[in-house]
Amino acid sequence: DEVSDSSTFRYDLVDLTRQALAKYANQIFLKIIQGYKSNNINQVTTLCDRFLNLVNDLDMLLASHEGFLLGPWLESAKGLARDHEQEIQYEWNARTQITMWFDNTNTKASLLRDYGKTHRTTPFCPLLRVPPFSFLKSSGAANKYWSGLLRDYYRPRAAIYFKHLISSLKKNEPFALEEWRREWISLTNNWQSDRKVFATTATGDALNISRTLYIKYLRNTDALGLDGMDSFGKPASL
């Protein structure tokens, strides 16, 4: 109908679905941490896979509207360049601004990577640079929900974190903090220097994708024991 065909309506639909799925992802992450603390490797492995699949689906959702694409950000930066060398620099600047600033070492991330307030009493969410509830609500200007950024940067980064969680359980050893930092910092530096071109036009139908993801993830959240939990992992209150 006239409303569902509106670009504004579809933007809001994608944004609302994104927020709901982000909150669901926070809950999965907290369940992963619970499983890790209780040495439940089956739970951790299953939920890590579900989290990574959810990131893929989130990226597909965001790709369905031009307002949630990484491509225009990078192409706009490159468009300001006067020559090829400047284009490479401007693209690197644009990629760095939305990931991690460059005053890092091999095992210590930039202190400027977080623009918002952090809460050190909560578990760290590997998908972003902030605690898991910020997956629902951005804490700073650099946190972007863009198709391309989730699939090509945050998903591999989360996969590195989960790999070390599972390895820690299998080997019955402490979490390899320094090795994890080394891998994701290397991933970040490589992504910042990459020249991959990302889409600047939307693909897929936002209405159908939103409906499909609602059925897939949000209709039966109790299947993972997530009902009754808020995004902080505490019992939800009315």
Of 5, 60, 43, 67, the C-alpha closest to 216 is: 60
**Model confidence, pTM:** 0.82
Residues 167, 176 contacting (CB under 8 angstroms): yes
pLDDT of 109: 63
CATH number of 7-224: 1.20.120.670
pLDDT of 2: 65
pLDDT of 207: 95
The full set of domain ranges for the chain reads 7-224
CA distances, 130 to each of 72, 120, 143 (Å): 25, 9, 9
What token pair was written down for 14?
Answer: 């994608």
Determine the Cα–Cα distance for residues 49 and 206; give it in Å rounded to an integer.
24
Most distant pair of Cα atoms in the chain: their distance: 58
Query: What backbone phi and psi angles, to 5 degrees, belong to 41?
Result: -70, -30
Tens-digit pLDDT string for the chain (238 aa): 567 788 899 999 999 999 999 999 999 999 999 999 999 999 999 999 999 999 999 999 999 999 999 999 999 999 999 999 999 999 999 999 998 876 566 666 655 554 433 333 334 454 443 333 333 333 334 558 999 999 999 999 999 999 999 999 999 999 999 999 999 899 999 999 999 999 999 999 999 999 999 999 988 766 555 544 444 344 333 2
pLDDT of 4: 77
pLDDT of 208: 96
pLDDT of 153: 94
What is the DSSP secondary structure assignment for residue 229, as one 8-state letter?
B
Q: What stretches of the chain show up as alpha helix (H) in DSSP?
A: 7-37, 41-62, 71-78, 84-97, 149, 155-171, 177-193, 206-213
